[in-house]
Amino acid sequence: MAQDLNRLRGTLAAGDVYTLFPEDNGYSQAVQACKLFLSRELYRIDSMFVHTTAVLSLSQSPSRTPEMQIKFQLPSKLARSKISAWFLAAEGYIANGLGGKNRSLVVDMSNFSNVTLDVSTNLAIIQPGSRLGDIALALNDHGRAIPHGHCSTVGLGGHAAHGAWGFVSRQWGLTLDHIISTQLVLANGSITTVSEDNNPELFWGIRGSASSFGVVTSYEFSTVAVPEEGTYFVYNWNVSVAEASISLTSFQDFVQSGIPSTLGLELRLLRGNIVGNLSMQLDGAYFGSHESFTEIIQPYLDTLPPPGLTAITQGNWIETVAALTFGALNTSTQAPINDTFYAKSLMIPEDSPLSRRAIDALISYLDTVGFRTDVLWFVEIELYGGSNSAINLVPVDETAFAHRNKLFNMQLYASSIVPPYPKDGFAFLDGITDVIISNSPDNWGYGTYINYPDNRLDNWQDLYYGSHYLRLQALKKEFDPSNVFNFPLAIEV
């Protein structure tokens, strides 16, 4: 192995590729997130095998990049490596990009972070290591934007590759709906640009499962003119179990009552202060006139008790985005945040929403089991569909993203203050999905969301990709027959 590493060093140096190995200065900082993950007893990686990691990037000489892609595969043992394409950061939901075994390679895309806009076409070229807050600031300088999530430090690469929802998505669609073309490195080392006109079938596949087919080095996006006004709002309640059931039922009715696409919402349920109560939070953004906001939201508020703490922030586009985003938009000002957590998702079909029986069972479970558990948790009910949603106007076969008929995406999240993550934390979240599914119709058409990945699902192929999975497998066999881009939830050969 040492000889292979020395050959790798020489090959990379000849190709002018910046490299950090464990004995190099700067290595400890570069793999900080990786080392934090490896220290968690839950995965016990260090006790299972010896691992050696290098942090890599593509050639600093663009003209040599195609040559380097070929040379990179020359060492005989390394040529058989499985590459885990790492688009944003190793501290993601299931840490897909950590490699975790010999002959695995982590590709660090964090330095691919340029954002440029062609002001004549309003098309943006954005590299995958760019973070959402920085993208919002850069595009706003030109009065433009794309839809994306509201956690500023999330990297664009995997976010856009698999969907990407935010409060403006009901008006503008998902992030991947704005992809015009993508440059990526394929398993054979070639660099290609895919679009509707150039390899349209692969272009279909990368809009929903890009990380299974190559390393994205840039996206080209259509952008949207920023709205003149925006409102970010947060309402909080402590409600009884009965009130919580009514609130969720009313929320489901409200979002299908003709609300405008300019309204984005999520309803969050949390542990109550006593048994018999739950905490509830409604937050979202409205990108219509400030004066019309109250008229739009009031019909739902009228179904609830008076809220407790309320915060309403009104301003222009970027002021509203700054208010609704977790963390500062300028991500260079933020220190790394670490968490020990597990998350699941459940996507609720629009034509068969949550039954009252399922709602009552969920609320009862959160009140009883949720009150007793040691983990910190929330259930976040994100509005995907509902009246006038741009997400569901896109035909389901237009992209590889399979969920164009969903009303909600429920993110189920539980964390522990310190590692290791407790085993009953898994059982608690599993119980949430179980009580909903078991109290819903037979053959209920629910799904799950790949950007909240869960490597404990038995039937993830169907839940994440639905009817598209066989088509994606055919693409995998064509473009990555040796399964170079391999991770726990990658499309299988």
Cα end-to-end distance, the chain, whole Å: 28
Pair 36, 161 in one domain = no
pLDDT tens digits, one per residue of 102-113: 666 677 788 899
Walk across the sheet containing 123-126 and list its strands.
Answer: 115-118, 123-126, 215-222, 179-185, 191-195
Task: Tell me how far apart the alpha carbons of residues 34 and 98 are, in angstroms, rounded to a whole number.
Answer: 7
Pair 177, 213 in one domain = yes
CATH number, residue 239: 3.40.462.20
CA angle at 491 for the pair 488 and 493, rounded to the nearest 5°: 110
Task: Tell me how far apart the alpha carbons of residues 406 and 410 are, in angstroms, rounded to a whole number.
Answer: 11
pLDDT tens digits, one per residue of 177-220: 999 999 999 999 899 999 999 999 999 999 999 999 999 999 99
- Which of 180, 206, 226 is the endpoint of a domain? 226
Q: Is the pLDDT of residue 72 over 50?
A: no
Pair 234, 213 in one domain = no
Using pLDDT thresholds of 50, 70 and 90, give the confidence band for residue 57. Answer: very low
| Residue bearing the bigger pLDDT, 69 or 221 | 221
Strand 123-126 versus strand 179-185 pairing type: unpaired
What mean pLDDT comes out for the span 355-382?
98
| 253: in domain | yes
- Which of 205, 226, 247 is the endpoint of a domain? 226
> 93, 452 in Cβ contact below 8 A?
yes
CA angle at 294 for the pair 289 and 297, rounded to the nearest 5°: 110
pLDDT tens digits, one per residue of 6-25: 787 787 777 666 677 777 87
The pTM of the full predicted model, rounded to 2 decimals, is 0.87
| 475: in domain | no
Length of the chain: 493
Average pLDDT, the chain: 86
| 468: in domain | no
Task: Tell me how far apart the alpha carbons of residues 102 and 343 are, in angstroms, rounded to a whole number.
Answer: 27
Strand partners, 327: none
Record the tokens describing residue 365, joined without a space: 């479970």
Question: What is the C-alpha radius of gyration for the chain, rounded to an integer number of angstroms?
Answer: 23
Q: State how far Cα 284 lies from the chain centre.
A: 18
Count of domains forming the chain: 3
Pair 324, 418 in one domain = yes
Task: Tell me how far apart the alpha carbons of residues 491 and 477 are, in angstroms, rounded to a whole number.
Answer: 10
Residue linked to tokens 């394929």:
186
What mean pLDDT comes out for the span 409-432?
92
pLDDT tens digits, one per residue of 152-170: 999 999 999 999 999 999 9
For residue 180, which amino acid is it? Answer: I
| 273: in domain | yes
Task: Tell me how far apart the alpha carbons of residues 69 and 209 are, in angstroms, rounded to a whole number.
Answer: 22
Pair 344, 288 in one domain = yes
Pair 166, 99 in one domain = no
Please count the CA atoms within 13 angstroms of the CA of 374 that sit on its side-chain side: 11
Task: Tell me how far apart the alpha carbons of residues 258 and 123 are, in angstroms, rounded to a whole number.
Answer: 32
Task: Give me the pLDDT at residue 31, please.
Answer: 62
Task: Give me the pLDDT at residue 108, please.
Answer: 78
| 483: in domain | no
> 387, 255 in Cβ contact below 8 A?
yes
Q: State how far Cα 132 lies from the chain centre.
A: 11
Pair 448, 344 in one domain = yes
Task: Give me the pLDDT at residue 47, please.
Answer: 29
Strand 82-86 versus strand 104-108 pairing type: parallel
Q: Is the pLDDT of residue 391 over 60?
A: yes
What mean pLDDT comes out for the span 411-438?
93
Backbone phi and psi for residue 313, each to the nearest 5 degrees, phi listed first: -120, 125
| Residue bearing the bigger pLDDT, 212 or 80 | 212
Task: Give me the pLDDT at residue 339, please.
Answer: 80
If one counts every other C-beta atom within 10 angstroms of the C-beta of residue 170, the result is 29
Instruction: Give yes or no for a cis peptide into 420 (omega within 30° of 0).
Output: yes
pLDDT tens digits, one per residue of 288-339: 999 999 999 999 999 999 999 999 999 999 999 999 999 999 999 887 777 8
Query: Above pLDDT 70, what percent of the chain?
Result: 83
Judged by DSSP in three states, 229 sits in coil
| Residue bearing the bigger pLDDT, 86 or 417 | 417
